[in-house]
Amino acid sequence: MWEMNWIAVIGAALAGFAIGGVWYGPLLGKAWQKESGLSDEAMKNANMAQIFALTFVLNLISSFILGHVMATYGHPGLHIAAMIGFGVGLGFVATSIGVNYLFARKSLKLFLIDGGYWTVVYTVMGAIFGALV
């Protein structure tokens, strides 16, 4: 049975949250906002405390499940765990976003921003599990 490493789960969730702060902030924030069709007013009127809290909860869930996936591989090392995370991010998450964006007629640029974010996040989360478990 898999033993929960809460430090890895919380660390991976925090990493996803921190990467999001940079990715959707100074790195690609304005491009994402434009491609998403969100005005400055809409951004100012958002309940950021609620968005951040729920984002962290969702990151906790995803890191918990990724940790469970890692355990099925017998707790791989850093390199293999990062590769598994990359595969999950690109192969499952980004492709799922891509299907939704095709039907919603979202731009390729928005897909690359969002799909790229999740691919990076899962790669880093995988690396954290590989390093800490």
CA-to-CA distance for 123 and 89, rounded, in angstroms?
Answer: 7
Whether residue 75 is contained in a domain is answered as: yes
Q: In the chain, how many domains are there?
A: 1
Q: Which of 7, 109, 25, 6 is nearest to 17 (CA)?
A: 25
Burial (Cβ within 10 Å: 0-12, 13-18, ≥19) of residue 12: buried
pTM, two decimals, is 0.94
Q: How many CB atoms lie within 10 A of CB 114?
A: 23
Whether residue 115 is contained in a domain is answered as: yes
What domain range includes position 13? 6-132
- pLDDT, residue 2, reads 61
Whether residue 117 is contained in a domain is answered as: yes
Whether residue 1 is contained in a domain is answered as: no
Whether residue 88 is contained in a domain is answered as: yes
Whether residue 39 is contained in a domain is answered as: yes
- pLDDT, residue 95, reads 98
Low-confidence residues in the chain, pLDDT < 70? 1-2
Whether residue 66 is contained in a domain is answered as: yes
